Copies of this chain bind each other. A is one copy, B any other.
Amino acid sequence: MTTEFLIEQIHKKKSFLCVGLDVDLNKIPKHLLTEEDPIFEFNKAIIDATHHLAVAYKPNIAFFEAYGLKGWQALEKTINYLNEKYPEVFTIADAKRGDIGNTSKMYAKAFLEDLGFDSITVAPYMGKDSVEPFLSFKDKHTILLALTSNEGAFDFQTQKVDGVELYKKVLETSKNWNHSEQLMYVVGATKAEYLKEIRNIIPKSFLLVPGVGAQGGSLSEVCKYGMTEHVGLLINSSRGIIYASQKENFAQAAAEKALELQQEMAAILAAN
């Protein structure tokens, strides 16, 4: 998917919401557990109920791998369902991969080509040649970890490298990589005040912003400092939406939570 198409969708749906699919069998409604593929059935119901309110879906790969073969099968079914029924949504493999070149190439092939995701999250620690293999796929996007939403972000990401925080160094350096126009970045909503300076370094890039909701980040703060002329934000909510209810009405409850966020987003878009 091109960035232009994504921006069009944002304006059409008046939403820059990404729904995170972190499916834990201990948290989904009990009645689904008798289905042949409870994870897929859960995802399908959530997607059907929210697709008009969200522009992106982000399966969290760990939650699929935790169920082995069945999990991988549910992942394939989920991405196929999204690509076939809702080709207008932007899909993110939240995988946080990154390895030496020939290995990154295999991960890139798996997620961007075979599974057909539009994008994948990647960790920057191993540098340029660990990230560029992901960037070589046309109209696909690599979402590089910059400043994450967790407490551990302060261990290394905010440490100063030659007077500049490591996450800023990651932003600066990655701009020089091949096909860097296909880069997006992860910046946690729990650190919204950092967005002003981040926008000085990458004024136009899309940011995937986790941490609104369950982790405590504020949507209005993120938009205040992070929004660009072409929006430039995908705000992720996982647990706050998908586990809104554990009863039979879970999909309806998820849609209500998604609607709340979409309405806030529509108001922000109208005001800008």
Contact = CB atoms under 8 A, between A and B. Distances in A.
Given A65-B110, A72-B69, A73-B69, A127 B156 contact: yes
Contacts of A76: 68-69
A217 to B, nearest CB: 13
Contact of A150 (B65, B100, B123, B156): B100
Contacts of A96: 97-99, 123, 126
Contacts of A63: 103, 106
Interface residues of A, number: 57
Copies of this chain present = 2
Interface string A84-121: 00000000001011111111101101100011000000
Nearest to A111: B65
Contacts of A131: 152
B151 A127 contact: yes
Given A72-B69, A110-B66, A160 B162 contact: yes
Contacts of A78: none
A251 B162 CA distance: 50
Contact of A106 (B65, B148, B156): B65
Contacts of A115: 68
